[in-house]
Chain A
Amino acid sequence: MTRSRIYGLAGFVWFLLTIAAIVRATRLGLLVAPTEATMGNVQRIFYYHVPTSMLSLLFPYVNFGASLCYLYWRSRDPLKALTADAVAIASAEVTVVYASICLLTGMLWGRAAWGIWWTWDARLTSMLLLWLLYVSYLMLRKLSATGQAHTLAAVLSVFAAIDVPIVYMSIQWWRTQHPAPVFFGGPDSGIDPSMMPAFKWNVIGWAMWGIFLLTFRYALERRRQQIEQDNALQAIEASLEIAQ
């Protein structure tokens, strides 16, 4: 079996496992977990909202790390740099997807629990800004010429990474309405042990789904790069033939 076949098979197995995990997580979250005492069934969106928001804070680190690797390898090892760039774009896109899901589920919950779709509270605003930063990152990639998109995007990713802690701090000073952190938020925080399996499985399922998306997008980007390189090589060969 060739190497790409093995990768393809491994990806397919991972995909099946992910689907299984998500099915189990959905069953636990929607059917098995007990109904929350004060909020009722509305609370069940928590099983989607919290895992996706946790993951949408995790993928930007992947993007930042890959961008740093890209900048380091750019002139030293261009082929490795392209790999890092493919990871960077894949993680940026997954970040935008997860942050969007987090914002949308949060709005649905907010409408039911607070009676409003949106409020300019610290956590909501920080998440919105994170989303804006990564959308602008994708816009830059889309609008810049093929040769420089990698470098410009990597530079912007460094800016975004420095911006995130400043955004977080400044918004904290600005205002606060979001419920206090459910986990690690003080002595009264935490959820009932009976809700824990549903939450854990949702974290696992959606993390696996995120990794699947990231890898899939990475493979796609690698193929696009491969085609681009092949075309460039053909163009060079053709120009050499004309010269003779």
Chain B
Amino acid sequence: MTYAGHVLNHLRKDIQIEWRSRDSINGMLFFALLVVVVFAFAFDPTAAMSRQIAGGILWVALLFASVTALNQSWTREQRNRVLEAQRMSPSPPSALFLGKALANFLFVTVVEAVLAPLFIVFYNLHALGQGWMLAVVMPLGTWALVCNGTFFAALGLRTRNRELLLPLILFPISIPALLGMMQATTGILSGEFEPGPWIRLLIAYNIAFTTVCLLLFETALSAE
């Protein structure tokens, strides 16, 4: 079987499990919605104000929501010692990682697709910049969160307090990516500055960290 075949197999398995339970998508969606509502109480979302803060709020909501789901995504593999079986299987470990990361990427994208209209309604949003560029920023930002998040969730799999550990190591590493996606989104919504450099930063970040994740996943999986 080719490498792509292994990745697709893992991806299909994860989508199937998620389709049957829909746990993580529902959980993420409701969690993100709650964060958006809570922030609406903290800042008075008038049209001018929301353009300034919406980029930040949207990504913070997605960041928190995806952390809750990322922890779950590896716990599934631990039931019935599936993970041990996968470690012994001849398929490359990075294919397991890539399949899982792509599945998580899809789930978060679904959440974004549902959340975005609600967000626009709640915060009276109307992009003053080039709105279509959000279609570039959203997938890039999501991949930046999900790729490292999936890796660190696997890293913390056998540690004490793994729910606590994931944000503790994911957030500091992700800060340049968060800065990039928040600035790019704010730039597009407010039209005050060019999102171009921030999109390039996100691309560079994604290339660098996807490579490292693929190279080091085997080491992290068989850490003992």
Contact = CB atoms under 8 A, between A and B. Distances in A.
Interface of A: 71, 74, 129, 132-133, 135-136, 139-140, 143-145, 147-148, 151-152, 155-156, 158-160, 162-163, 166-167, 169-171, 173-174
Contacts of B15: none
B180 interface: yes
Contacts of A173: 197-198, 201
26 contacts: A71-B219, A129-B172, A136-B169, A136-B172, A136-B173, A140-B156, A140-B159, A140-B165, A143-B159, A143-B160, A144-B156, A145-B160, A147-B224, A151-B224, A152-B223, A158-B216, A159-B148, A162-B209, A166-B201, A166-B205, A166-B208, A167-B176, A169-B201, A171-B176, A173-B201, A174-B179
B22 interface: no
Interface of B: 148, 155-156, 158-161, 164-165, 168-169, 171-173, 175-176, 179-180, 183, 197-198, 201, 204-205, 208-209, 212, 216, 219-220, 223-224
Interface of B is mostly: helix
Contacts of A163: 172-173, 176
A139 B165 CA distance: 8
Contacts of A171: 176, 179
Contacts of B209: 159, 162
Contact of B159 (A152, A162, A166): A152
Nearest to B205: A166
Given A152-B220, A155-B155, A155-B219, 13 more contacts: A135-B172, A136-B169, A136-B172, A139-B165, A140-B155, A140-B156, A145-B159, A152-B156, A155-B216, A159-B173, A162-B209, A166-B176, A170-B179
Given A129-B172, A132-B172, A133-B173, A158 B212 contact: yes
Nearest to A132: B172
A136 B168 CA distance: 6
A-B CB proximity, top 9 nearest: A148-B223, A151-B223, A144-B159, A170-B176, A132-B172, A147-B224, A166-B176, A136-B172, A136-B169
B179 A140 contact: no
Contacts of A148: 158-159, 223-224
B126 to A, nearest CB: 26
A160 B219 contact: no
Contacts of B161: 143
A124 to B, nearest CB: 14
